[in-house]
Structure 1
Amino acid sequence: MTIKEAQEVVDKWIKEYGVRYFSELTNMACLTEEVGELARVIARTYGDQSFKKGEKPNLGEEMADVLWVLICLANQTGIDLTEELQKSIDKKTQRDSERHKNNPKLKDHNDSKLKE
């Protein structure tokens, strides 16, 4: 599924099952909530915390929930995420084409990962 198709599928779902989009402010609060849930799973999976009884490592589900709400916000504000993502990639490529390659902190990190 392309990003454009995802935006269309979410829009169709909202109109068929969701009645209407929540307000932009409500969706921003929902996005914040979903990012927090994603952070919780990452902290328990890759950090020092452990899962509580009944919790599960549902990383993909939480990422999809973040994407869902982000797509809702894009749809209701008229943003073409495909176009904006391409602009972001172009900007980062132009700005950072050598920056990360020349960052000794990243080189050291990559070298230590290779040793593991």
Structure 2
Amino acid sequence: MTLEEAQQQVDCWIKKYGVRYFSELTNMAVLTEEVGELARVMSRKYGDQSFKEGEKDNIDDEIADVLWVLLCIANQTGVNVTEAFARNLEKKTKRDNTRHINNPKLHDHGEE
């Protein structure tokens, strides 16, 4: 599935099952909530915290939730994510094409 297809599927789902998009500001709050849920799983799986009883490692679902809300925000603000991502990748490549390679901090862990 392409990003464009994902945007279209989200839009179709919202129109069929969701009645309408939440407001842009509500979706920004929902995005923040979803990123927090992803952070909780990450801190338990990769950090120093442990899972509480009843919690599960559902990192895949949490990432999908974040992507879903991002696609909702893109749809309702008229952003073509495919085009925006391509421009962003080009910007990063021009700006950082030697920055990370020349960063000794990234080579300190034997991962060259």
TM bracket, shorter-chain basis: over 0.9
> What is the count of residue pairs matched by the alignment?
112
Give the superposition deviation at 1:100.
Answer: 0.3
Q: Distance in 2 between matches of 1:35 and 1:87?
A: 24
Q: Distance in 2 between matches of 1:99 and 1:108?
A: 15
Give the superposition deviation at 1:36.
Answer: 0.1
User: 1:1-52, CA deviations, whole angstroms, 9 ceiling, x for partnerless residues?
Assistant: 0000000000000000000000000000000000000000000000000000
Q: AA paired with 2:76?
A: Q
TM-align CA RMSD:
0.9
Say whether residues 1:13 and 2:13 are aligned partners.
yes
Q: Distance in 2 between matches of 1:90 and 1:40?
A: 32
Dislocated runs of 4+, deviation >2 Å:
none
- In structure 1, the gaps of 5 or more residues are none
Q: Distance in 1 between matches of 2:102 and 2:41?
A: 32
Q: AA paired with 2:56?
A: K
Q: Distance in 1 between matches of 2:13 and 2:100?
A: 40
1:79-94 aligned at under 5 Å gives the runs 79-94=79-94
Secondary structure (helix, strand or coil) at the match of 2:54 reads coil
Say whether residues 1:57 and 2:57 are aligned partners.
yes
Identify the residue that residue 24 of structure 2 maps to in structure 1. 24
Identify the residue that residue 104 of structure 1 maps to in structure 2. 104
Identity of aligned residues (%): 68
Higher-helix-fraction structure = 1
Q: Distance in 1 between matches of 2:97 and 2:79?
A: 27
Secondary structure (helix, strand or coil) at the match of 1:63 reads helix
Secondary structure (helix, strand or coil) at the match of 1:52 reads coil
Secondary structure (helix, strand or coil) at the match of 1:21 reads coil
Secondary structure (helix, strand or coil) at the match of 2:15 reads helix
Identify the residue that residue 37 of structure 1 maps to in structure 2. 37
